[in-house]
Amino acid sequence: MMRTLKLCDGRSMPQIGFGTAAIGEFQQDNEFVKDTVLKAIEMGYRHIDTAALYGNERSVGQAIAESGIPRKEFFVTTKVWDTQQGHENTLQAMEESLNRLNMDYVDLYLVHWPYPEKTQATWQAMEQLHREGRARSLGLSNFRKSDIQQLMGFAEIKPVYNQLELHPYLTQKALVEYCESKGMVVSCWSPLGSGSWSGVDNSEKPISDPVITKLAEKYGVSAGQIILAWDLQQGRIVIPKAESEKHMKGNLNYGFTLTDEELTAIDNLNKNHRFGDDPDTATESNLSRPVPN
């Protein structure tokens, strides 16, 4: 049975999702991507995370349609990109995402990155989409405390979720606590440290840290499973990407529980080290990266 978390708007979502950023390669949208997502669905994943910028919404939608499982059994997340922000642009972005997904609605619609000059117009468009039933829940991604404070000043519908780069080398503890104090579930992108897209050698990632590898040896599981358990036991959403059946299965299966002392030991690995972009500086480069057709 897939474990779920309750959102502050009363809806529930699976705690373990399937991340789709850069399946194969970034913005790849073909049979390989569709077949990979289908394989994940066959393994039991029902929470699928995509985004307009990933360029693979068509393949995600095709996989869900071809699975033969009713749409209502899935929890699908997509995101509005920086170049799509603003009121009318956001409405158009959702129309395009739904067309690519071949769906009438998404379960969760996120602002992919903070763009403070556009936040109010973007959020108000998202609230309209929510009222129309095209976005069942609304949330954020990569939002800092200051961005959340800005949004809370005008939001009529509160965000239920903030998706952050979060792993043992970047725990963002103060931000996590702030999000939770505002009723938001925290989700972790690149929960194992970073994907192949980053070019970072495995030896530099948390999966190779001695604290993690010793715990993996103790419990007879992979280093990745230790990190995911660290998140799950603390009430966070995880959306690891995987392309092999072995990793897909491993990311779903847990037969152990970390002790409080072990959770703290992993917390203490924090180095405030980012593998991905920094929301303090990301907007300018994001605006130079358009969403593919």
pLDDT tens digits for 80-107?
999 999 999 999 999 999 999 999 999 9
Burial 34-70 (b: 16+ CB within 10 A, else e): bebbbbbbebebbbbbbbbbbbbbbbbbbbbeebeee
pLDDT tens readout for residues 26-35: 999 999 999 9
- Is residue 292 a part of any domain in this protein? no
- Is residue 229 a part of any domain in this protein? no
- Is residue 213 a part of any domain in this protein? no
- Is residue 96 a part of any domain in this protein? yes
- Is residue 226 a part of any domain in this protein? no
Domain span including residue 165: 13-200+234-247+271-286
**Spatial distance between the Cα atoms of 290 and 81, rounded to a whole number of angstroms:** 8
Q: Report the DSSP beta bridge partners of residue 196.
A: none
Please say if the pLDDT value at position 196 is more than 60. Answer: no
**Spatial distance between the Cα atoms of 184 and 9, rounded to a whole number of angstroms:** 10
Please say if the pLDDT value at position 197 is more than 60. Answer: no
Q: What is the mean pLDDT of residues 48-74?
A: 98
CATH of the domain at 20: 3.20.20.100
- Is residue 85 a part of any domain in this protein? yes
- Cβ neighbour number for residue 193 with a 10 Å cutoff: 25
Please say if the pLDDT value at position 57 is more than 90. Answer: yes
- Is residue 228 a part of any domain in this protein? no
Catalytically annotated residues = 54
The answer to the question of whether 273 is labelled as a binding residue is: no
Q: Quote the pLDDT of residue 240.
A: 94
Q: Quote the pLDDT of residue 203.
A: 85
Report the half-sphere exposure of 23 (CA within 13 A, side-chain side). Answer: 31
- Is residue 224 a part of any domain in this protein? no
Our count of domains for the chain comes to: 1
Q: Are 49 and 81 in contact (CB under 8 A)?
A: no
- Cβ neighbour number for residue 87 with a 10 Å cutoff: 16
